Structure 1
């Protein structure tokens, strides 16, 4: 018998399913949505009064020591910063742009803006730091027309700040480190007045709290409007899914970027909503960043842990080697939560095994479905014994409409946590909603059990990503990607599926450099490209293709050829987000030479099921 699950209080999952005459299916949770605040900083005021000395936020300084903020300290600083913004003349018609990574100063400025109803937008740091042409940053700035810009480090963000000043000569630049602009410590020293309280009282639930930019999968990023109501409604919905968070203040250690809805709305918001503690992790799931994350996890015992699939995968070797790390991590843990992509089932299984080895119980692994436009959460599989791809049932107050699209069902949302539209983009807003006002997600889902909707929905790919082969056979890209990653893990890190109007399915493989080096017993100093082209890796992928095709039931589930991408995905080209998610369409468009290589005539290419390598950088 498998080990039991840790006993956790989860919300109800009983749903109501109705079928309309047009064939669409309406699904909702029977539990109603409970009341929620008008704006998020009502919770800051509440907790600052109830538990003023409780630790709210912490981040390590350059010396490695934790710098902390209590709830009372946070509110005091937020009110001072809010007064500074009011002194500049900012209103709900003006905006603030934050260029920087997660930081205490980032949090304080964002909360100050929310507190008095000034829209702000956190922009993806790679747009400023990694991009060669700054075109995406320029696009976001021109849409926001900011009156204030914050950059954590003036030297690091100098190029981005110069661009902003060239676009908006009167913009106020604020920095916290190494800058000759307005110093952040000065704005925290402003004496707040009654005007702050008046502005706070005047914030409307339907006012814009923030603008979060999408990754731009079909072009330049779109700015998703997040209202105060959206944010607070979704946090209450999540609370009803995970009521244990309301029973005891949570403790999170988290790296996920605040310019994304997962880290910025979900994780940051939950910590504040429940009077919990959020430790800012400056690591991330990269070869160097994972070391920082592990060092933090050796010290902090979270009550819930959030990450993307790549992050969970990269942590496994450390947990296997360090029993004390496992004990610290699992000691108070109620759940593991992933989002952003599918978690490979072998990775899922190993985490369950690690929990059992450490505490004798399985810790529930939870996910769901959502998007930036739903702020982010629309549904959850909030029960033990789930599996990768199971999305669960709608959150309270969420109406899900499943609309037939070919042989699939597209999920559409209507709820208090759904965006009213896109910032200064009426055309995109009009096309995003159907005639009944439901947001069209483009996500395809299906019932795990047609006769029992309480068992939840299963991810069935993206409507726009699926395609037909030249034979007229539909290819389910989501299912194919999950199959390839599960079979190829840990060497195969991600994959893009090709084959539109072609005779067969091909795959562009993105490999894990560390896993390839380990497979080939190479030093960590060996360049990734060299490891990718090692004979042992080629042999591994040859066998991997044979293995996955043994279960193929036809041309739509068989990978005939694969090519390894030697160069990492480009953020300038929109091929990847800073969470590590690949953009299928952008990669197929910008790496057309790789796609062509997959479909060279057999006489000029390798035999089917044999690995071909990218010969020149793209």
Structure 2
């Protein structure tokens, strides 16, 4: 018998399924949504009173020591910053833009803005640091028209700040480090007045808390309006999914960026909602930064751990070879939680094995379905024994409408945690909702068991990404991508599916350079191009196609050819989103030459094509 799961308090999953005459299906959780605060910083006021000395936020300084902020210190500094903003004349009609990464200063400025009702927008750092033309940053700035612009480090973000100043010369620029603009420390010296709490009193549930930019599948980023009601409602919904977080204040060690809804709304928000502690991890799931994450995990025992699939995959070798790291990591852990992409089943299985080897029990691995427009969470599979691709059941207070679209069901949402629309974009807002006011996600789902909705929904791809072959056969892009990545991991990092109006399915593969070098026994200084074009990699891809096609049931599930992308996805061309996922449409459009290679009458002699 397999080891049992760690006893963890999860919320109920009993749902109601209603089939309507028009063929649509409504799915709701029977448990009602409990009351929640009108605005998020009510929780800051509460915890500063109840546990003033408890650490709320922590981040390492340049010397490697943890710098901490207690709940009382956070509230005091938030009030001073809020007064500074009011002294500048900021109102609910003005905005603040944050250009840089997660930091204590980022958190304080954001909370100050939220506290007094000034909309703020954290912009994806790659828009400033990776982009060559700063086109997406310019678009976001022009849409926000900020009166205050913040960057953690004035030197690192010099190019972005120069652009911001040229667009908005009267805006106040603030930096925390190496800057010639207003120093962040100046904001902390401003004595707060009664004006701060007067402004707080005017903030309503429908007031805009922040604007999160989402890349979308086409075009420039759209600014998703996040109201106070959205944020607070979703945090209460998540709490009812994971009641153990309310029973004991959580401890998180987290790198996920606050410009994205997963890190900024979900993880940061849950910490504050439950009076927990968030250790800011400056690492990332990349070869250059994974060691930073591991260092932090050697010291901090999280009660829940959040990551993207790539992050979980990269941590496995460290956890396997370091017994003390394993003990520290699993000691207080209730769940592992992933989002952003499918978790390969071998990675899932190995984490369960590592938990059993360490504490004698399996740790529930949790995911669900959500989006920036849902603040972010719409459904969860909150039980042990789940599997990759299972999305679970709706959160409390969420009405999920499943609408037939061809042979698929599109998920649409109506709930207090759903956005009212897009910032200064009436056309996009109008197109996002159906005639009954449901947000159209574009996500396709299906029931695990048509007769028992309590078993949850399964991801069935993206409506807009699926296509027909020339034979008229539909190709499910989401399912095909998951299949290729699961079979090709860790060498295959991501994949784009081609074949619209063609005779067969072809794939563009984005590979993991380190995994390729390891596969070929190459040193770290061997170039990416040489590693990708090595004969061993070619043989690996050949075998991958054979493996995938052994379970193919027809042309829609068979991959005839693969081509390897030698260049990484471009942020300027919109090939990669701010959360690191690939934009299928953009890559097919901008890499037409690779697509042409897939469909040449005869395979070329180039080693990158099979």
Task: Give 1:126 deviation, angstroms.
Answer: 0.5
What per-residue deviation string (whole Å, max 9, x for no partner) do you get for residues 476-502 of structure 1?
001101110111111111111000000
1:103 aligns with 2:98: no
Conserved in 2, the CA contact under 8 Å of 1:561 and 1:598?
Answer: yes
Question: Aligned partners of 1:438 and 1:39: how far apart in 2?
Answer: 24
Q: 1:298 is paired with a residue of what secondary structure?
A: helix
Name 2:249's counterpart in structure 1: 249
Name 1:25's counterpart in structure 2: 25
Question: Aligned partners of 1:23 and 1:395: how far apart in 2?
Answer: 23
Name 2:608's counterpart in structure 1: 613
Question: Aligned partners of 2:69 and 2:484: how far apart in 1?
Answer: 45
1:347 aligns with 2:374: no
Task: Give 1:533 deviation, angstroms.
Answer: 1.0
Question: Aligned partners of 2:435 and 2:216: how far apart in 1?
Answer: 25
Task: Give 1:344 deviation, angstroms.
Answer: 0.7
What per-residue deviation string (whole Å, max 9, x for no partner) do you get for residues 495-548 of structure 1?
110000000000001111111111111112222221111111111111111111
Q: 1:613 is paired with a residue of what secondary structure?
A: coil
Conserved in 2, the CA contact under 8 Å of 1:216 and 1:574?
Answer: no
Name 2:422's counterpart in structure 1: 422
Question: Aligned partners of 1:217 and 1:169: how far apart in 2?
Answer: 33
Task: Give 1:561 deviation, angstroms.
Answer: 0.2
What per-residue deviation string (whole Å, max 9, x for no partner) do you get for residues 24-61 of structure 1?
00000000000000110000000000000000000000
Question: Aligned partners of 1:422 and 1:334: how far apart in 2?
Answer: 36
Question: Aligned partners of 1:490 and 1:159: how far apart in 2?
Answer: 36
Name 1:539's counterpart in structure 2: 539
Task: Give 1:605 deviation, angstroms.
Answer: 3.2
Question: Aligned partners of 1:321 and 1:375: how far apart in 2?
Answer: 38
- Map 1:108-507 to 2 at 5 A: 108-507=108-507
Question: Aligned partners of 2:524 and 2:48: how far apart in 1?
Answer: 48
Task: Give 1:216 deviation, angstroms.
Answer: 3.7
Conserved in 2, the CA contact under 8 Å of 1:562 and 1:612?
Answer: no
Task: Give 1:217 deviation, angstroms.
Answer: 2.1
Name 1:43's counterpart in structure 2: 43
Task: Give 1:449 deviation, angstroms.
Answer: 0.0
Task: Give 1:577 deviation, angstroms.
Answer: 2.5
Conserved in 1, the CA contact under 8 Å of 2:533 and 2:607?
Answer: no
What per-residue deviation string (whole Å, max 9, x for no partner) do you get for residues 261-296 of structure 1?
000000000000000000000000110110100011
Task: Give 1:571 deviation, angstroms.
Answer: 1.1
Conserved in 2, the CA contact under 8 Å of 1:402 and 1:410?
Answer: yes
Task: Give 1:2 deviation, angstroms.
Answer: 0.7
- Map 1:26-105 to 2 at 5 A: 26-105=26-105
What per-residue deviation string (whole Å, max 9, x for no partner) do you get for residues 348-399 of structure 1?
1111111111111000000000000000000000000000000000000000
Question: Aligned partners of 1:399 and 1:612: how far apart in 2?
Answer: 51
Conserved in 1, the CA contact under 8 Å of 2:598 and 2:609?
Answer: no
Question: Aligned partners of 1:165 and 1:579: how far apart in 2?
Answer: 27
Question: Aligned partners of 1:614 and 1:372: how far apart in 2?
Answer: 37
Conserved in 2, the CA contact under 8 Å of 1:563 and 1:612?
Answer: no
Question: Aligned partners of 1:362 and 1:498: how far apart in 2?
Answer: 38
Show structure 2 runs of 5+ residues with no match: none
What per-residue deviation string (whole Å, max 9, x for no partner) do you get for residues 66-95 of structure 1?
000000000000000000000000000000
Task: Give 1:581 deviation, angstroms.
Answer: 1.0
Task: Give 1:346 deviation, angstroms.
Answer: 0.8
Conserved in 2, the CA contact under 8 Å of 1:381 and 1:390?
Answer: yes
Conserved in 2, the CA contact under 8 Å of 1:594 and 1:614?
Answer: no
Conserved in 2, the CA contact under 8 Å of 1:59 and 1:67?
Answer: yes
Question: Aligned partners of 2:172 and 2:109: how far apart in 1?
Answer: 14
Conserved in 2, the CA contact under 8 Å of 1:565 and 1:614?
Answer: no
Question: Aligned partners of 2:580 and 2:361: how far apart in 1?
Answer: 31
Which 4+ stretches in 1 moved above 6 angstroms? none
Question: Aligned partners of 1:63 and 1:571: how far apart in 2?
Answer: 32
Q: 1:471 is paired with a residue of what secondary structure?
A: coil
Task: Give 1:579 deviation, angstroms.
Answer: 2.8
Instruction: Between 481-490 and 239-248, report the one with greater CA deviation.
Output: 481-490
Question: Aligned partners of 1:294 and 1:527: how far apart in 2?
Answer: 26
Question: Aligned partners of 1:55 and 1:416: how far apart in 2?
Answer: 31
Question: Aligned partners of 2:142 and 2:69: how far apart in 1?
Answer: 34
Between the two proteins, the alignment pairs up a number of residues equal to: 610
Instruction: Between 149-158 and 522-531, report the one with greater CA deviation.
Output: 522-531
Structure 1 length as normaliser, TM-score?
0.98
Task: Give 1:580 deviation, angstroms.
Answer: 2.0
Task: Give 1:612 deviation, angstroms.
Answer: 5.3
Name 2:14's counterpart in structure 1: 14
Question: Aligned partners of 2:126 and 2:216: how far apart in 1?
Answer: 14
